[in-house]
C-alpha cells in the first residue's frame, strides 16, 4: 500500500494579514483625529477673525485645507488680490503643522506598529521556509517559489526601518497611512485599506 503524505499549505498573505493587519488598522483612528484637529484649528481661526481677508478667500482656504486642489489653485491664481496670497500661505502652514502634530503625537503608535510588524513578517518568512523544506522532503520538488517571498519580506523589513526613521525625525507621518510606494496593502490582503 502506497503511503500517503498530507501537506498543510500555510498561505503567506493570510499569515501576515493576521499578524500585521490589526497594527495597521490601529493607525487609522489616530490619523483621523489629527485631521479633525486641523478642521477645528481652521474653524477657531475663522471665528476669531471674522473680518480676516475676503469671505470667498476664507471659503477657498477651508476647502483647500480639506484637500480641494481646485480651491488651492484658485488661492494661488488670485494671489494679487487682498488676502488671497496670505490665505494660500496659511494652507501650507496648517498642513505642515498637522504633519508635525501627527508625527509627534503618534510617535509611540507608529513605533509600536513597526516593532510588532517586523517580528511578524520574520515569523512568516520562517514558516514559509519551513513549509518549503517539508514540501521538498515529501515530494522531492518545490511546490512554489519561496524566493519571491524571501524578497518581499526583505522589502517589508527595509520599509519598516524607513518608516521608523521618518517618524523619529517628525517628518511625513501623515503620509504613511497605506504605506504608499511598495504595495504593503496587497501583501496584507487589503487590511491596510
Domain that holds residue 96: 31-105
**Residue 3: inside a domain, yes or no?**
no
| Per-residue pLDDT tens digits for 104-113 | 555 555 555 5
HEC string of 41-64? Answer: HHHHHHHHCCCCCCHHHHHHHHHH
pLDDT of residue 73: 73
Q: 98 pLDDT band (50/70/90 cuts)?
A: low
pLDDT of residue 68: 78
83 and 143 in a single domain? The answer is no
Distance from CA of residue 3 to its chain's centroid?
49
| Per-residue pLDDT tens digits for 42-74 | 566 556 554 444 566 667 777 777 777 777 777
Residues near 114 by beta carbon (within 8 Å), at least 6 away in sequence: 160, 161, 163, 164
Mark which of 105, 136, 162 sits at the end of a domain. 105
**Residue 4: inside a domain, yes or no?**
no
Amino acid at each position: 500500500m502506497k503511503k500517503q503524505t498530507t501537506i498543510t499549505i500555510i498561505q503567506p498573505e493570510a499569515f501576515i494579514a493576521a499578524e500585521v493587519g490589526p497594527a495597521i488598522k490601529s493607525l487609522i483612528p489616530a490619523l483621523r483625529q489629527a485631521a479633525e484637529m486641523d478642521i477645528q484649528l481652521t474653524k477657531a481661526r475663522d471665528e476669531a477673525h471674522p473680518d480676516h481677508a475676503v469671505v470667498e478667500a476664507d471659503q477657498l482656504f477651508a476647502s483647500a485645507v480639506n484637500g480641494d486642489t481646485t480651491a488651492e489653485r484658485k488661492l494661488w491664481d488670485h494671489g494679487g488680490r487682498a488676502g488671497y496670497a496670505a490665505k494660500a500661505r496659511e494652507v501650507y502652514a496648517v498642513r505642515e503643522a498637522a504633519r508635525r502634530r501627527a508625527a509627534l503625537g503618534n510617535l509611540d503608535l507608529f513605533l509600536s506598529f513597526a516593532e510588532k510588524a517586523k517580528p511578524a513578517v520574520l515569523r512568516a518568512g520562517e514558516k514559509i521556509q519551513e513549509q518549503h523544506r517539508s514540501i521538498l522532503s515529501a515530494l522531492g520538488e518545490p511546490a512554489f517559489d519561496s524566493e519571491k517571498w524571501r524578497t518581499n519580506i526583505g522589502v517589508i523589513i527595509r520599509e519598516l526601518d524607513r518608516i521608523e526613521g521618518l517618524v523619529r525625525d517628525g517628518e511625513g507621518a501623515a503620509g504613511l497611512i497605506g504605506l504608499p510606494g511598495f504595495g504593503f496593502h496587497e501583501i496584507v490582503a487589503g487590511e491596510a485599506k
